[in-house]
Chains A and B, each alone.
Chain A
Amino acid sequence: MADLRIDLAGIKSPNPFWLASAPPTNSGYQVQRAFEAGWGGAVWKTLGEPILNVSSRFAAVNFNGQRVAGFNNIELITDRPLEVNLNEILETKKKFPDHAIIASLMVEPQQEKWHEIVKKVEAVGVDGLELNFGCPHGMAERGMGSASGQVPELVEKQTYWVKEVARTPVIVKLTPNITDITMTAEAAVRGGADAVSMINTINSLAGVDLDTWNTVPHVGGKGAHGGYCGPAVKPIALNMVAECARNPLVNVPISGIGGISNWQDAAEFLLMGATGVQVCTAAMHHGFSIVEDMIDGLNNYLDDKGIASVTDLVGQSVPRYSNWGDLDLNYNIVAQINNDVCINCNKCHIACEDTSHQCIDLYSESGRPMLKVREQDCVGCNLCAIVCPVDGAISMVERKSTIPPMTWNERQSLISNFTR
């Protein structure tokens, strides 16, 4: 049994799996059910001035029959009175003292408003605060959420105001709806943030109904952009986490969010620099019990690797993430097809022939269809292995280069030395 406990900027939880601030953490009833199911922490659905919600709020993107490849919502922050939420936080914390409860907060960008709400939530015993600078819809139109999260100065200033009064660790949650997330991450750190979390949802329109021509979802025939999350956003989130993790100016822990559906996704975020993860869509799709395999799978993975504590995973892959200019131009891999495993769907052939480098030959050997890679023409693009439906039929193998490694940057500097 590996040790799954984490300490994220002073916030301790029995495992790295927190529920993200979202519909699953709307009430004490839900958060208590989540803790009973095994979730290590919960970021309470964002508190602020209670708002009004619309009806018809969620939509999902299905892919080839697979439901909820992506998820879109236009729900706003909590629509329940602050006092109700505070009472339920108090009660939940009493029942689950070892689990982490983090209060997500969103108020107008005014110092006194931040001071007021921070004091109120800390008084009921939360373990930390998460500043919601990310919600892309509704609240942003009122100057909150991503509207303030897209302006580094506002991120820095509001973080600073919170830190003026906060006694618990402050996490700043960042919006991905920005060209370079490290700009706002750095601003949060300058403002005194103890940690950053990312990503909030991405501006999205889930679809258009081909019969009614309404947006999906629509509210009485009208739609507005929502926030996109779920498995489809994972690569975007993972990159943003990694970019912050390798940025020396973002020298605070990261709470990773974005499409994490299982322990494998979680482990990838940890390897890329997240200290813990937050989950929403997977729980909304399957219920709180999915955390059981998240915990169990991560545990078994760590045991298999002989790793004593989950914290030993954090950031291990960050040094391997770099700029394109630092990649070895002379590294060489090629595809190799195992015709004994191949089932002859020929998807690799047509993918390569139509859309890549035309190096997989389809031929017949004593009546049996065969596929072979012409290695001299293979660029190691991986497309064939990607489209292959059978494990082990195509492997990408390294071919030792006859020339020593050289990156683009090294090459450019050599050339400039030469021409100087």
Chain B
Amino acid sequence: MSSQLERNFVEMTGRMTKNEAMEEANRCLYCYDAPCITACPTSIQIPNFIKKIATSNMKGSAMTIMDANPIGASCARVCPTEILCEGACVLNSSTKPIKIGELQRYATDWAMETDVELFEKGESNGKRIAIVGSGPAGLSAARELSRFGYRVTIFEAEAKAGGLNAYGIVSFRLPNDVVDWEVAQVVKLGVDIQTNTRVGVDISAEEILTQYDSVILAVGMGSVPDLGIEGEELEGVHDAIEFVKRTKMGVLTEDLIGKRVAVIGAGNTAIDGATCAVRLGAEQVDILYRRTEKEMTAYQYEYEFAKQDGVGFKWLTAPKRIIGDGAGKVVGLECVKMKLGEAGADGRQRPEVVKGSEFVLEVDAVIKAIGQTRFVPFIEAFGLQHTNGVVDIDETTMQTSNDKVFACGDVVFGNGQGEAMVVTAAQQGKDAAYIIHERLRKPSGIA
């Protein structure tokens, strides 16, 4: 059985064959001032990398991708390409868009398998940078800074580097070896990644601030907050982030086989939780959302994917109480029907309880996916200004209230600031690196 579960978590989509890649690459028009480049947050020179595939210049193709995006192999798999590069492809208006994501995977897979050296570290300039967090933003910043000649140390609380890519994106979309390779690329450039190192426990914020010339905060977001209802402590109630993380760590338990699961929330994390539950053998998985299909925040392709996996959707439904048995295990979820009322301050219609509509779903597990908490104490340990846990930054310089500290990635996402995409985090990491380099290489005014 466990080997079946393992198979369930193997990457779903295959790689293009050489023939497919050549045919697709040759279909690219090689536009001038191509809109796909503009649509890519990391501005990959897409027509160039595709042309290079067509001429069998695979190293050049992989370099073009990875130069612009240090986690280009991951992004090839997780980017919502239909709203980015492929959505901008001019062929949408005539035939069908180029499969840019798949071609990007084809080129980066080549680099992974040949293990060719793509980049070199710059000549040392003696300056030291600390980066907290080794996710997309942290890795990207580290890679660029190392190429400029900085000595970079990344502090990572987890046992493995990679952040969200290592722990938060389901394996069947992003396998570990892709993330490991991207991390290894950065380590090869001399970046020191100190895993199992918690800032505030193993090293203090003050130490970091005094020992390094500049600091980048790229810690992302935390766990799923409590629902604030009765029964959350019961056995069988999971935090979606932790739930996905366990599968990424290879812990595929058999306790959900044949079970009924309710997932609370309708964002991309909820979809991840639901599809992981299906792959762990759950018989019935339902996503409960207090608003409707129209308001759900999951990408369209994630929604389609969940439906194909057999996940059910219960719209206008909110959890009221988790019901346990005598042994403290989940046996049911009391729900209440909702309706959409007046628009709230954010412009979205507020869900309102329909009185007397309570009903009970018989479930064996509940997965919470209603957002993520913020690392507020941590942000405050660095003395940074923030708004509800979102670090305040100058969006052009990524600079925080401390001019030595820059922040990027999910830690700056929220309240209308930034974007939650992996590829945006990568670009912000690059931006932070460029700004730091620009600041630090300028001769001081005194000298």
Question: Which of A292-300, A324-332, A346-354 lies at the interface?
Answer: A346-354
Contact, CB under 8 Å: A343 / B22: no
- Residue A65 is within 8 A (CB to CB) of chain B in the complex: yes
Q: Which of A65, A66, A345 contacts B90 (CB 8 A)?
A: A345
Contact, CB under 8 Å: B54 / A346: no
Task: Using A65-B23, A390-B94 as known contacts, say yes or no to A345 and B29 having CB atoms under 8 A apart.
Answer: yes
Q: Which of B30, B33, B90 contacts A343 (CB 8 A)?
A: B90
Q: Which residue of A lies closest to B24 (CB)?
A: A65
Contact, CB under 8 Å: B33 / A64: no
- Residue B35 is within 8 A (CB to CB) of chain A in the complex: yes
Q: Which of B32, B54, B93 contacts A350 (CB 8 A)?
A: B32
- Bound-state CA distance A389–B29 (Å) is 8
- Rounded to whole Å, the gap between the CB of A106 and the closest CB of chain B is 40
Contact, CB under 8 Å: A346 / B26: no
**Tier of interface size on chain B:** 10 to 19
Q: Which of B22, B23, B25, B31 contacts A345 (CB 8 A)?
A: B31
Q: Which of B23, B30, B31, B91 counts the most A-chain CB atoms under 10 A from its CB?
A: B31
- Rounded to whole Å, the gap between the CB of B325 and the closest CB of chain A is 60
- Rounded to whole Å, the gap between the CB of B51 and the closest CB of chain A is 10
- Bound-state CA distance A362–B35 (Å) is 14
A344 cross-chain contacts in B, Cβ below 8 A: 31, 35, 90, 93
Q: Mark B7-26, 1 if CB is under 8 A from A, else 0.
A: 00000000000000011011
B29 cross-chain contacts in A, Cβ below 8 A: 345, 347, 389
Contact, CB under 8 Å: A65 / B54: yes
Task: Using A64-B54, A65-B54, A390-B94 as known contacts, say yes or no to A345 and B26 having CB atoms under 8 A apart.
Answer: no
Task: Using A64-B26, A64-B54, A65-B22 as known contacts, say yes or no to A343 and B32 having CB atoms under 8 A apart.
Answer: no
Contact, CB under 8 Å: A343 / B93: yes
A350 cross-chain contacts in B, Cβ below 8 A: 32-33
Q: Which of B22, B30, B33, B34 counts the most A-chain CB atoms under 10 A from its CB?
A: B33
Q: Which residue of B lies closest to A389 (CB)?
A: B29
- Bound-state CA distance A347–B388 (Å) is 48
Contact, CB under 8 Å: B91 / A346: no
Q: Which residue of B lies closest to A390 (CB)?
A: B94
Q: Which residue of A lies closest to B55 (CB)?
A: A64
B26 cross-chain contacts in A, Cβ below 8 A: 64-66
Which A345-372 residues sit within 8 Å CB-CB of chain B?
Answer: 345-347, 349-350, 362
- Rounded to whole Å, the gap between the CB of B447 and the closest CB of chain A is 46
Q: Mark B30-43, 1 if CB is under 8 A from A, else 0.
A: 11111100000000
- Rounded to whole Å, the gap between the CB of A49 and the closest CB of chain B is 44
Which B38-91 residues sit within 8 Å CB-CB of chain A?
Answer: 54, 90-91
- Rounded to whole Å, the gap between the CB of A359 and the closest CB of chain B is 15
- Bound-state CA distance A350–B34 (Å) is 11
- Rounded to whole Å, the gap between the CB of A329 and the closest CB of chain B is 32
- Bound-state CA distance A66–B90 (Å) is 22
- Rounded to whole Å, the gap between the CB of B393 and the closest CB of chain A is 28
**Tier of interface size on chain A:** 10 to 19
Q: Which of A65, A66, A350, A362 counts the most B-chain CB atoms under 10 A from its CB?
A: A65
- Rounded to whole Å, the gap between the CB of B23 and the closest CB of chain A is 6
A65 cross-chain contacts in B, Cβ below 8 A: 22-23, 25-26, 54
Contact, CB under 8 Å: B94 / A389: yes
Q: Which of B32, B34, B35, B54 contacts A349 (CB 8 A)?
A: B32
B91 cross-chain contacts in A, Cβ below 8 A: 343
- Bound-state CA distance A65–B22 (Å) is 7
B35 cross-chain contacts in A, Cβ below 8 A: 344
- Bound-state CA distance A362–B22 (Å) is 31
Contact, CB under 8 Å: B32 / A347: yes
Q: Which of A344, A350, A362 counts the most B-chain CB atoms under 10 A from its CB?
A: A344
Q: Which of A345, A346, A362 counts the most B-chain CB atoms under 10 A from its CB?
A: A345
- Rounded to whole Å, the gap between the CB of B46 and the closest CB of chain A is 13
- Bound-state CA distance A343–B29 (Å) is 11
Q: Which of B31, B32, B90 counts the most A-chain CB atoms under 10 A from its CB?
A: B32
- Bound-state CA distance A389–B30 (Å) is 11
- Rounded to whole Å, the gap between the CB of B22 and the closest CB of chain A is 5
- Bound-state CA distance A108–B90 (Å) is 60
Q: Which residue of A lies closest to B25 (CB)?
A: A65
- Bound-state CA distance A398–B94 (Å) is 27
Q: Which residue of A lies closest to B27 (CB)?
A: A65
- Bound-state CA distance A64–B24 (Å) is 11
Contact, CB under 8 Å: A345 / B32: yes
- Bound-state CA distance A344–B92 (Å) is 11
- Rounded to whole Å, the gap between the CB of A44 and the closest CB of chain B is 37
Which A15-69 residues sit within 8 Å CB-CB of chain B?
Answer: 64-66
Q: Which residue of A lies closest to B91 (CB)?
A: A343
Q: Which residue of B lies closest to A64 (CB)?
A: B26
- Bound-state CA distance A347–B33 (Å) is 9
Task: Using A64-B54, A65-B54 as known contacts, say yes or no to A346 and B32 having CB atoms under 8 A apart.
Answer: yes
- Bound-state CA distance A362–B91 (Å) is 19
B25 cross-chain contacts in A, Cβ below 8 A: 65
Contact, CB under 8 Å: B94 / A362: no
- Bound-state CA distance A86–B33 (Å) is 64
B54 cross-chain contacts in A, Cβ below 8 A: 64-65
A390 cross-chain contacts in B, Cβ below 8 A: 94
- Rounded to whole Å, the gap between the CB of B30 and the closest CB of chain A is 8
B94 cross-chain contacts in A, Cβ below 8 A: 343, 389-390
- Bound-state CA distance A343–B31 (Å) is 10
- Rounded to whole Å, the gap between the CB of B172 and the closest CB of chain A is 31
- Bound-state CA distance A64–B22 (Å) is 9
Q: Which residue of B lies closest to A63 (CB)?
A: B26
Q: Which residue of B lies closest to A346 (CB)?
A: B32
- Bound-state CA distance A347–B90 (Å) is 11
- Bound-state CA distance A349–B31 (Å) is 10
B31 cross-chain contacts in A, Cβ below 8 A: 344-347
A346 cross-chain contacts in B, Cβ below 8 A: 31-34
- Rounded to whole Å, the gap between the CB of A360 and the closest CB of chain B is 11
Q: Which residue of B lies closest to A66 (CB)?
A: B26
A343 cross-chain contacts in B, Cβ below 8 A: 90-91, 93-94
Show 23 residue pairs from A and B whose CB-CB distance is below 8 angstroms, ordered by the A residue.
A64-B54, A65-B22, A65-B23, A65-B26, A65-B54, A66-B26, A343-B93, A343-B94, A344-B31, A344-B90, A344-B93, A345-B29, A346-B31, A347-B29, A347-B30, A347-B31, A347-B32, A349-B32, A350-B33, A362-B33, A389-B29, A389-B94, A390-B94
Other A-B contacts than A65-B54, A389-B94, 4 sampled, CB-CB below 8 A, are A344-B31, A345-B32, A345-B90, A347-B32
Residue ranges of B at the interface with A (Cβ–Cβ < 8 Å): 22-23, 25-26, 29-35, 54, 90-91, 93-94
Going nearest first, the 9 A-B pairs with the smallest beta carbon separation are A65-B26, A350-B32, A346-B32, A343-B93, A345-B31, A343-B90, A64-B26, A345-B90, A345-B29
